[in-house]
Amino acid sequence: MSSYMEEYRRKLITVEEAAQLVKSNNLIDYGMFATKPIDFDAALGKRAGDGLQNVNIRGTGTVLPIPEVIKGDPEQKTFQYFSWYFTALDRKACDLGLVAHNPFNYHEATLLAYNSDFKHLWPDVWVAQATPMDKHGCFNFGLGNSHNRGLALASKIAIIEVNENMPYCPGGNDEYIHISEIDYIIEGSNQPIFSTPPSPDPTEEERKIAQFIVEEVVDGAMLQLGIGAMPNLIGNMLAASDVKDLGIQSEMFCDAFVKMYESGIITNAKKAYDVNKSTYSFCLGTQETYDFLDGNPRCASCTVNYTNDPASVARHDNVISINNILEVDLLSQVCSETSGLRQISGTGGQLDFVVGGFHSKGGKSILAFSSTFKDKEGKLHSRIRPLLTPGAVVTVPRTQVQYLVTEYGKVNMKALSTWGRAEGLINIAHPDFRDELLSAAKEMKIWSKTNRIPF
């Protein structure tokens, strides 16, 4: 340990000195989600307009506090911020023209970081929050494994911002970086790690959707739950059910997994690999969930390629992947990330698990959504539309869509004709919009006189 401490002291610099390492035209990568640097960002943000130009910064799922490189440079004279996956913060900043989106399938992030074919995308400087160094000279990435290690090793300058509040999350793989592999260390101000409030109480529609999905979960199933209130609701309902021996392989470790552990239904005993461990790549949740993960050997922090690679996911039997969507058209094209041209979230790992879940023996990929939404004026709109909203991004192509679920039912789209898809979608649409959708289907010539809808 003494030799590591000597190296630690040599590499320890002030946050201001770290910020001075950034040069014009640099590409900077921030740690993912809750591993985003705070003190380094604040110091770098103060350099806006001091002669720096064209500094590009990439984040993933930006969380509070608002990055100073965004807030302190609204005219973007020095910094341009990009995000691989949008949170509410990214969304609002994008509305103001201060953030741009980098579209990609999440499992590819690790591949980009390790593959020299993508060297032009490697950062000049990488900075992330991590735990204090252990006796072996290692810093743990805590709540954001993702592709942190790959980017750190690929960068020209790698900087760790130590935060004593970061949970220690054992692996898995790539959950750490050794002091010999980094260039500098910042001892941060140990601000609290960003956490989310508990999910709001579900609506009656959400409960109906969740019940339809819970019915599909069998003993020994392997679960992936996406981001949002709906996946947590489903997990909480499963925790109160009599299902048993569930396994977890999910890009995100969500709050509901804690209750599922407490109820005894998660054992991971039936997984094809990582038996007895829940495999995940990042966590964005409540402090209670962070406390559960801290030092927990029953959970394994891994790279996002390891958790999300569709071929690897499909090795498990009875995979049930559950994700939210924003809208779907009568051709069964799914948009989960934009409202027209407005970026709401990102592809993330949705397509990864849609493909992996379907190819699993006994597996099912499920896309869930409430059938309607209200606009700012209180007008009701259908999420099932004749065609996607102009500008909407296709997140899941119709050829990949399997189960779609609303509060009015569920339909398996695989191998259905265009007529069958239209009928299935109209069956699970809100009754107030079914006649309108039927007329549109006829006009689009995806309706047959043999089709039957039990209104």
Residues recognised as catalytic:
251
| Residues linked to residue 319 through DSSP beta bridges, in sequence order | 222
Q: Tell me the CA distances in angstroms from 425 to 36, 212, 285, 393, 403, one per residue in order.
A: 41, 16, 33, 19, 11
Which pair of structure tokens corresponds to residue 111?
Answer: 């591949």
Distance between CA atoms of residues 76 and 72, nearest Å: 9
- What type of residue is 283? C
The DSSP result for 300-368, as a single string, is EE-BHHHHH-HHHHTTSSSEEEEEE-SEEETT--EE-SEETTEE-S--TTHHHHHHHHHHSTT-EEEEE
Look at the alpha carbons of 228, 145, 288, 258 in this order and tell me if their dihedral is positive or negative: positive
Distance between CA atoms of residues 92 and 94, nearest Å: 5
Distance between CA atoms of residues 416 and 402, nearest Å: 10
Residue 143 · residue 193 · CB < 8 Å: yes
What's the Rg (C-alpha) of the chain?
23
Pair type for strands 384-385 and 327-329: parallel
DSSP code, position 202: P
Which helix (H) or strand (E) segment holds residue 10: the answer is helix 2-11
Residue 217 · residue 320 · CB < 8 Å: yes
In terms of Cα–Cα distance, which of 253, 417, 254 is closest to 330? Answer: 417
Burial call 335-358: b when 16+ CB within 10 Å, e when fewer: bbbbbeeebbbbbbbbbbbbbbbb
Which helix (H) or strand (E) segment holds residue 211: the answer is helix 204-214
Sheet containing strand 327-329, edge to edge, reads 334-335, 327-329, 384-385
